[in-house]
Chain A
């Protein structure tokens, strides 16, 4: 039994948001909720530890933060290039994004190496260690996942599997990367500016 009278669908302008885009925004909202809780815990627990190293030992990682922020620009340029059909330029900007992200992770590793070996701060040292490593670590985990995704797309591009018609999907993926970047804006402010 047909559902309705045969309404000429062609006369109806019917545009809906793309499910992929909505899905990604929803996922970002869910992840943001998780980050909010870790940020709240970090802020609430500032100054409440009873011993051990304090945020005074932190040095703001300005260079790698600039790298990460720039990678939002580069990934945007990559998507723009792919929308125009320029796969080669897309590939270049995409790989640059990956490199900037990797620099960020490498810098985080260096910072942690210093904190653990020189300052003696690890996640179990005291309350500050717990909140610091959890929050920054959660973000670094998301960067890592992002790099895996970026790397996969880079591989696909290498095998010439990525074409102009994939621009929308790649754009949706870049939303995740922008989210990771935006989270770092918040975490950087909370940990290295407000907290110190």
Chain B
């Protein structure tokens, strides 16, 4: 933490013992520290989830491989998916929300700082509980220790009959706990955004990131409940003799599928909307232009939020729904492509006519644009139910959603990380290492996930620990695995850059990017109270107004000025 901003001399800082400083972090209710804790937590689990993926890719590098047993492989894909969604992606989007939202709206902290800390520690505990399953669970051969039922845990595979031992319970309980943490985070975000904006910052003058996080919080509020409910039902079945998913007593496996995906689909929008938020802040700054079509971007995101609650059964096209139901969900799923496409065009229009500076954050954002385009198009293919009857449940789907989550979300997360790292740490990262990370990761990402579509087109289903030779899948699986090496190298460079720069990076000023939102008006890192005096804003880009007093934004915005 920067010492100049609070006027302490280095000798006074050095005198504080390590235990004291750690205690400060553990008991903090400061949104900035909690944000950093969330992000660091997520990075640790990103590495863990990556190791699980690497194990799977080594096993699949050739047919009939015996690197791991089927039991271990099934645990790997379950843990990889569960970890990446709930203990990497969710914490990291909440981490950035925590750090940025109060600063961007000119507030001193979130609305409920203690609830904030509670939410973080619940999420953190959930992750630890899940991983305790590797050492603490027990049960019959192949059914003990870590969960192996897939990250969406279809019934009746999760019933006591087919999932003896406690592995499934670790999945259920860790997510129940983390889900409560997420709801707490969403409550906090909503109350903060609606109730703590600085004077002059009407809803129409909030940074786009804040708008998008408001929509995301709304989705969390509506979507986590169904997961919590379904998991409670599963526990009732497993421990109180309930029959919710007991197909022999009138219960239904299909009901679990619907309840899970009512959560599961909005969940991926909960993850991608913050990625859109980062792109919406970073692309304008590095194109030196205001975001094109702010009101349309807000409307499109709200539309995406609403429609995303009505598409869930496109995950269920193969379960035997009626033709009417299948047709409805084709329509709703394809419809969501319209506002999503609008966003891509608006980012493009923001770059158009600008002066683009290709620093590391912008490199990741441009790659995101290309990759998200492709991901959206394979999504449109899967949205067509008949095509999904062939492509669903295959490696084509796995390639599609990794294209969205890695090629879209993770790339935007890297962009956000490099963009706000100077603000959070007070130091600049090493630009050359950032570029190296970028190129290594782009090569690795495309090697792995471009070619991964092909086995799907050749009939390879997902979640198989091995495959038959003679089906033409071998070479593609090999290429997919080779890509992992480049991604691992990229991550190592990223982590190395992070560590080195935190300790020895060049000092960053408060506004290294010449940006326009309120967080750049504070020192880097900001003091605990954020702003000496709470700002008053007149436009969407308060710092642009200050830097360009002859041509302020509020002259052009509707309702401009006070």
A and B touch in the complex (CB under 8 A): yes
A residues engaging B (CB < 8 A)? 1-5, 7, 9, 11-12, 14, 16-20, 22-23, 26-27, 29-34, 36-38, 41, 44-45, 48-50, 123-124, 126-127, 129-131, 134, 138
Kindly state the separation between the CA atoms of A156 and B336 in the bound complex, as whole angstroms: 51
- The bracket for how many chain B residues form the interface is 35 or more
Decide: B186 and A26 in contact? CB cutoff 8 A: yes
Decide: B200 and A48 in contact? CB cutoff 8 A: no
When C-beta atoms are compared, the residue in chain B nearest to A34 turns out to be B225
Decide: A19 and B221 in contact? CB cutoff 8 A: no
Decide: B186 and A30 in contact? CB cutoff 8 A: yes
Say whether B537 faces chain A, with CB atoms less than 8 Å apart. Answer: yes
Decide: A127 and B221 in contact? CB cutoff 8 A: no
Say whether B19 faces chain A, with CB atoms less than 8 Å apart. Answer: no
When C-beta atoms are compared, the residue in chain A nearest to B532 turns out to be A2
Given contacts A23-B188, A31-B225, A41-B233, contact A1 B194 (CB under 8 A): no
List A contacts of B228 (CB < 8 A): 34
Q: Choose among A12, A32, A34, A130 the residue that contacts B200 (Cβ–Cβ < 8 A).
A: A12
Q: Choose among B196, B510, B538 the residue that contacts A1 (Cβ–Cβ < 8 A).
A: B510
Decide: B535 and A3 in contact? CB cutoff 8 A: yes
CB distance from A46 to the nearest CB of B (A): 10
Say whether B84 faces chain A, with CB atoms less than 8 Å apart. Answer: no
Kindly state the separation between the CA atoms of A79 and B192 in the bound complex, as whole angstroms: 25
Say whether B497 faces chain A, with CB atoms less than 8 Å apart. Answer: no
Q: List 9 A-B contacts (CB under 8 A).
A: A3-B546, A11-B562, A12-B199, A17-B195, A22-B111, A41-B255, A123-B236, A124-B242, A130-B237
Decide: A37 and B259 in contact? CB cutoff 8 A: yes
163-214 of chain B: CB within 8 A of chain A: 183, 186-188, 190-192, 194-197, 199-200
Say whether B545 faces chain A, with CB atoms less than 8 Å apart. Answer: yes
When C-beta atoms are compared, the residue in chain B nearest to A134 turns out to be B236
Kindly state the separation between the CA atoms of A7 and B249 in the bound complex, as whole angstroms: 69
Say whether B106 faces chain A, with CB atoms less than 8 Å apart. Answer: yes
Kindly state the separation between the CA atoms of A131 and B242 in the bound complex, as whole angstroms: 8
When C-beta atoms are compared, the residue in chain A nearest to B246 turns out to be A127
Kindly state the separation between the CA atoms of A131 and B187 in the bound complex, as whole angstroms: 29
Say whether B311 faces chain A, with CB atoms less than 8 Å apart. Answer: no
Given contacts A12-B562, A14-B199, A44-B255, contact A130 B190 (CB under 8 A): no
List A contacts of B221 (CB < 8 A): 26, 29-30, 33
When C-beta atoms are compared, the residue in chain A nearest to B107 turns out to be A19
Known: A3-B536, A4-B545. 10 other contacts (CB 8 A): A2-B521, A3-B518, A3-B531, A3-B546, A12-B200, A36-B225, A36-B226, A37-B230, A126-B250, A130-B242
Say whether B223 faces chain A, with CB atoms less than 8 Å apart. Answer: yes
Decide: B183 and A30 in contact? CB cutoff 8 A: yes
Decide: A18 and B195 in contact? CB cutoff 8 A: yes
Decide: A20 and B191 in contact? CB cutoff 8 A: yes
List B contacts of A127 (CB < 8 A): 243, 246, 249-251
Decide: A33 and B225 in contact? CB cutoff 8 A: yes
Say whether B241 faces chain A, with CB atoms less than 8 Å apart. Answer: yes
Say whether B222 faces chain A, with CB atoms less than 8 Å apart. Answer: yes
Decide: B223 and A33 in contact? CB cutoff 8 A: yes
List B contacts of A20 (CB < 8 A): 111, 191
Decide: B243 and A126 in contact? CB cutoff 8 A: yes
List A contacts of B222 (CB < 8 A): 29-30, 33
CB distance from B246 to the nearest CB of A (A): 8
List B contacts of A138 (CB < 8 A): 232
List A contacts of B259 (CB < 8 A): 37, 41
Decide: B224 and A33 in contact? CB cutoff 8 A: yes
List A contacts of B243 (CB < 8 A): 49, 124, 126-127, 129-130
Decide: A33 and B190 in contact? CB cutoff 8 A: no
Decide: B195 and A45 in contact? CB cutoff 8 A: no
Decide: A30 and B187 in contact? CB cutoff 8 A: yes
Kindly state the separation between the CA atoms of A2 and B254 in the bound complex, as whole angstroms: 58
